[in-house]
Structure 1
Amino acid sequence: MTESQVDLEGLVRLRRDLLASGMTDPQIDRLVRAKVLKRIRYGAYVQYDLWEQLSPEDRHRLLARAVRARAHSATALTHVSSLIERGISLWGFPLDVVHTTRTGGDHRAGRRQKDWVPHRSILEAEDREELNGVVVSTAPRSAFELTTLGGVERALVAVNRLLHAKAMTMIEFKEQADAHRDWPGSLTTNLVVHLADARLESVGEDRFSYLVFKQGLVRPEPQFEIFDELGTLVARVDFAWPELGVFVEFDGKVKYERYRRDGETLDDFLMREKAREELVCQLTGWTCVRITWADLARPELVASRIRKVMAARKSGVA
């Protein structure tokens, strides 16, 4: 369990347990209307004030426990739900749907519901483990599973986050891809294998790397180190094209939270970042392109701007 995750053991209360404690259905309904209880899904409840305090990820984890409480005993959390249980950052996947797979018996999955997708497969012993008191698919298996849900970009984010967290190795991920070549979605899997990079440090960097690929730009070097005249490391830029004299810095909330010093205001941090950028430009003579989260929604425009900067560098204008 990560430091930011909440211990959810015993928090889900099923209808049958509430009835056994002496409550009636009308009483339960009144508590829900009064916002004393929160109905997570049919027949499953939690204290309302606790639900309000939970992050979207922990709400998903609680929903997953509500699903498992009424599911077949051989049900394991897989796909999106396995990664959320690991505390891995995701992008583009809805968190109001729980994904499961059975760990034994036949391949029957059960009926799909609006908040639950039981996948038709069997999770063998080598592909599952226990985490935070629930059975989940292993990190390499989960990574492969997400590539089958469609969408290269969102699958790439998940795989990179697992790689960067050292929850799995690239070899382990490739082994899963090779072992399931006959599964639907193998083309997405193969592309994610090609694009995955453990060096990327955030969801924003993952998405920018996909933008580079999708827009046909030359692949940059991530986490490029900059040294001063004495050979001292003074900076590490997010992406760089050293041969073109261009580097990219991604501005995102994660960077602010990770690199702000104790007691440092946001303005102080931004001023320090500006001084750092100026130092890099002075030492290298390169041009900086800053990318924001909003820019990622306009990939063609971003790519066009980068191409213009590169063209200016080649012509000696920049």
Structure 2
Amino acid sequence: MPSPARVPRRLSFLPFRGSVAVAEGLLTWAMLHGPAWRRLLPDVYVHRDGHRPDDHRMWCEAVALRLPAGAAVAGRSAAYLWGADLLPRDAPVTVLLPRAARMRPHPRVHLVRSVLPDVDRTRFAGLPVTTALRTAFDLGRQGPRVDALVAVEALLHRRVVKLPALRAYAAAHPGWPGGALLREVLALAEPLSESPMETRLRLLLLDAGLGPLTAQHDVRDARGRFVARVDLAWPALRVAVEYDGDHHRERAHFRQDVARLNALRAAGWLVLRFTADDVLRHPRATVALVRQALTERATTPVAR
């Protein structure tokens, strides 16, 4: 029985240029055409044990090996590297190319041409990427409006971008495409928003005229003791709205949620909870429920 082929350590899990590996005597072209290796892009390979088809980071690493000088991973791919996961795993890698640069199109690569000065490029985990500030600036200019707001707030929540710095950057770059959308996004942006669905829920309520509201509000009882933090609140009316993700269905979270809701009720708060289905498929019903709760509390306030 033949022994398995030896895998050079430096090629065991990360993508690499096949021509470089062959030139350095680590592999032969015949080996690369064998079952141990997967071809990702022209001249870019990875060992089968490191092949993770749904891992966007692997594809970013592969594409980075093909980037011309001055280019960078950008857009939602850059946001992913900065810690804000906004894309499906099968999404192509977004690349920002300086106008004079050339790169061959590929189904796994989404090419965008734009001005890209050195100050807007950096390296993150060894990969050339647009800075977090430039990434937020670019995503905030790309519609639809809710997606632009989700992207900006996700980066703000990761604390890789600060809202005053983004506003200053936008003011220093007038006339760029999507500037009007970005200004609207910056006026709405809430750094305390903790998830994309929370952002979508908040925007739904604001667009329905149910603002102003407070994000991540700390509820305290009559003695000033902390009770809970709620996603969205109208403190004067003691009404809260929360987004429930899948983790709330776990048994431990369910028990904690019951105790938390009881404590909020004892403090005089009315809490409405919504799921992704409520926000995305039944927005009118969601708005109607919140509007009704606010109207009832405004006309029959709870005794303090």
Q: TM-score, normalised by structure 2?
A: 0.83
Q: Which residue of 2 aligns with 1:206?
A: 199
For structure 2, list consecutive stretches of 5 or more residues without a partner in the other structure: 1-10
Q: Residue 164 of structure 1: CA displacement?
A: 2.0
1:72 and 2:78 equivalent?
A: no
Q: Which residue of 1 aligns with 2:96?
A: 101
- Structure 2 counterparts to residues 1-318 of structure 1, below 5 A: 11-17=14-20, 21-24=27-30, 28-29=32-33, 31=35, 36-52=36-52, 56=54, 59-90=55-86, 96-102=91-97, 107-108=100-101, 110=103, 112-253=105-246, 256=248, 266-284=250-268, 286-298=269-281, 299-316=283-300
The code of the aligned residue for 2:19 comes to R
Q: Residue 108 of structure 1: CA displacement?
A: 4.5
Contact 1:60–1:96, Cα closer than 8 Å, also in 2? yes
Q: Distance in 2 between matches of 1:190 and 1:77?
A: 24
Distance 1:127 1:23, change over 3 A: closer
Provide the aligned C-alpha RMSD in A: 2.8
Q: TM-score, normalised by structure 1?
A: 0.80
Q: Distance in 1 between matches of 2:223 and 2:136?
A: 43
Q: Distance in 2 between matches of 1:174 and 1:220?
A: 22
The total of aligned residue pairs comes to 288
Q: Residue 143 of structure 1: CA displacement?
A: 0.2
Q: Distance in 2 between matches of 1:97 and 1:149?
A: 17
Percent identity (aligned): 29
Q: Distance in 2 between matches of 1:16 and 1:276?
A: 59
Contact 1:109–1:118, Cα closer than 8 Å, also in 2? no
Q: Residue 13 of structure 1: CA displacement?
A: 3.1
Q: Which residue of 1 aligns with 2:5?
A: none
Q: Which residue of 2 aligns with 1:260?
A: none
Q: Distance in 1 between matches of 2:234 and 2:175?
A: 38
Q: Which residue of 2 aligns with 1:259?
A: none
Q: Distance in 2 between matches of 1:221 and 1:66?
A: 43
Distance 1:111 1:217, change over 3 A: farther
User: Aligned to 2:29, what secondary structure does the other structure show?
Assistant: coil
